[in-house]
Amino acid sequence: MARVAFIGWRGMVGSVLMDRMIAEKDFHGYEPIFYTTSQVGQKGPEIGLDIPPLLDAYDITDLGQADIIVTCQGSDHTKDVYPRLRKDGWKGYWIDASSALRMQDDSIIILDPVNKDVIEKGLRQGIKNFIGGNCTVSLMLMAVGGLFRHNLVKWVSSMTYQAASGAGAKNMRELVEQMAFIGQASQNLLDNPATAALELDTRVLETLHSEGFPKEVFGYPLAASLLPWIDAPMENGQSREEWKGFAETNKILQIKKPIPIDGICVRVSSMRCHSQGLTMKLKKDLPVDEITEIIGNANEWVKVIPNSKEETLGHLTPAAVTGRLEVPVGRIRKMNLGEKYLTCFTVGDQLLWGAAEPIRRMLKITLEHLS
Ligand code: NAP
């Protein structure tokens, strides 16, 4: 029976992965072993099976006995443990939510509704590293992958609106603390219906800049504001998150002549779900109905939202989409820029298709490959 090691199961991505695996009754047919970087000897997750206490996620002798390692722990852990395991002769499959190994030549970025052919070819050729893509890239491809598959895309500009949880459990918590802090500081003004809006605005602004404002994790106020920089700077002026759009999309699709993709990535104060406003130049001037059909037929999760105010506000927001596997795309229309220019807006739960779901499905694909 295959031995499958799970690392990082209690973080944001890991806990959504556990929920999805329990919902899909995935914990059977192999031996699951759980690891931790901070709670060795404590109890593992409730998965409906008797499992041993948590093992040390830095112990490569123990990890080296696994046939498959599934990790949602993060890049620092991968960079520490993965090279030591391979150096030690470990030949197993490494399935990872972090970006550490994504761009390596011996890794495939996994998003099977979009690139199952690439994954299967990789398995046949003996590739052992299968890495989840950047969440915004994966969600964009789940949404408009049909246009790429039909070779219709000349270039894409993607302007993102990314949730706090995209940065991890601590960031999500800090966003709520910031909201609570603003609420408390403004409460007496809210209690008086006669308070002028400008007075309320001044109070909120003073609160954002006050001494005790909770911002240790983000470094800046996110609640009642936004942060137009995600991840490290690159030499060309992009942020690393922006750099991933071009590099990862073309690697996922394994396109010979890379398609230009660029934009600005922005952290906003939604809790969960990444949203994107896309501008695309198409190679052909197709009618909107035909484009919509291509988008909507690409996979079983993409859902076209009609371009009306009610449908958009009811179904194309993080509040409507959180916790759902569907990836809605709406606001689809030609732009004033010209007939080949298309715009659309898409929202997806980045913890599902942007992180946990491709990992869950890759584990199943790998187990089937091994059986
Ligand atoms: P996270 O929530 O910060 O969790 C990572 C680890 O932090 C956990 O496995 C846990 O490890 C430890 N931890 C410490 N305090 C914790 C607490 N109070 N609650 C839960 N865990 C705690 O990170 P993440 O957002 O899941 O991201 C994991 C990796 O996936 C990263 O490489 C990230 O870039 C990538 N990713 C994230 C997203 C997203 O939307 N968040 C999307 C795609 C990819 P121990 O149990 O060992 O202590």
Which pLDDT tens digits describe the chain residue by residue (371 residues)?
999 999 999 998 999 999 999 999 999 999 999 999 999 999 999 999 999 999 999 999 999 999 999 999 999 999 999 999 999 999 999 999 999 999 999 999 999 999 999 999 999 999 999 999 999 999 999 999 999 999 999 999 999 999 999 998 899 999 999 999 999 999 999 999 999 999 999 999 999 999 999 999 999 999 999 999 999 999 999 999 999 999 999 999 998 899 999 999 999 999 999 999 999 999 999 999 999 999 999 999 999 999 999 999 999 999 999 999 999 999 999 999 999 999 999 999 999 999 999 999 999 999 999 98
Q: Beta 274-282 vs 153-162: how paired, if at all?
A: antiparallel
73 Cβ below 6 A of ligand 1? yes
How far, in Å, is the centroid of ligand 1 from the Cα of 10? 7
Which contacts (CB < 8 Å, 24+ apart) does range 223-227 have?
A: 223/175, 223/178, 223/179, 223/181, 223/182, 223/269, 224/178, 224/182, 224/269, 225/269, 226/266, 226/267, 226/268, 226/269, 227/266, 227/267
Does residue 265 line the site of ligand 1, with CB under 6 A?
no
Q: Quote the ligand 1 centre to 332 CA distance (angstroms).
A: 34
**CB of residue 346 inside a 6 A radius of ligand 1:** no
CA of 12 to the centre of ligand 1 (A): 5
Question: What atom of ligand 1 comes closest to residue 163's alpha carbon?
Answer: 40
Find the 7 Cα to ligand 1 centroid distance in Å: 10
Q: Is 291 in the pocket of ligand 1 (CB under 6 A)?
A: no
CB 222 less than 6 A from any atom of ligand 1: no
pLDDT at 64: 97
Q: What pLDDT is recorded for position 289?
A: 97
User: Does the C-beta of 10 come closer than 6 Å to ligand 1?
Assistant: yes
Name the nearest CA neighbour of 37 among 75, 88, 3: 75
Shortest-distance atom of ligand 1 to CA 274: 40
Q: What's the pLDDT score for residue 256?
A: 86
Location of structure tokens 């490569």: 60
Q: Answer yes or no: is the C-beta of 172 below 6 A from any ligand 1 atom.
A: no
Q: Which atom of ligand 1 is nearest to the CA of 15?
A: 26
78 vs 155: CA distance, rounded Å: 33
**Going along 199-326, which residue ranges are E strands?**
261-262, 265-267, 274-282, 302-304
Ligand 1 atom with least separation from CA of 36: 47
Question: Ligand 1 centroid to 73 CA: how many Å?
Answer: 6
- The catalytic site residues sit at 135, 274
179 lines ligand 1 (CB under 6 A): no
Q: Residue 169 Cα, ligand 1 centroid: separation in angstroms?
A: 6
Q: Which pLDDT score is estimated for 359?
A: 98
Q: pTM (2 decimals)?
A: 0.94
- Out of 10, 110, 165, give the residue to mutate to test ligand 1, the one with the largest number of ligand atoms within 8 Å of its CB: 10
Residue located nearest, by CA, to atom 38 of ligand 1: 166
Atom of ligand 1 nearest to the CA of 138: 43
Q: 132 CA to middle of ligand 1, Å?
A: 14
Q: Give residue-wise pLDDT tens across range 44-90.
A: 999 999 999 999 999 999 999 999 999 999 999 999 999 999 999 99
Q: Report pLDDT for 255.
A: 87
DSSP codes of every residue in 58-95: T-HHHHTT-SEEEE-S-HHHHHHHHHHHHHTT--SEEE
Ligand 1 in contact with 37 (CB < 6 A)?
A: yes
What the block records as the tokens of 189 is 């003004």
Q: Does 75 contact ligand 1 (Cβ within 6 A)?
A: yes
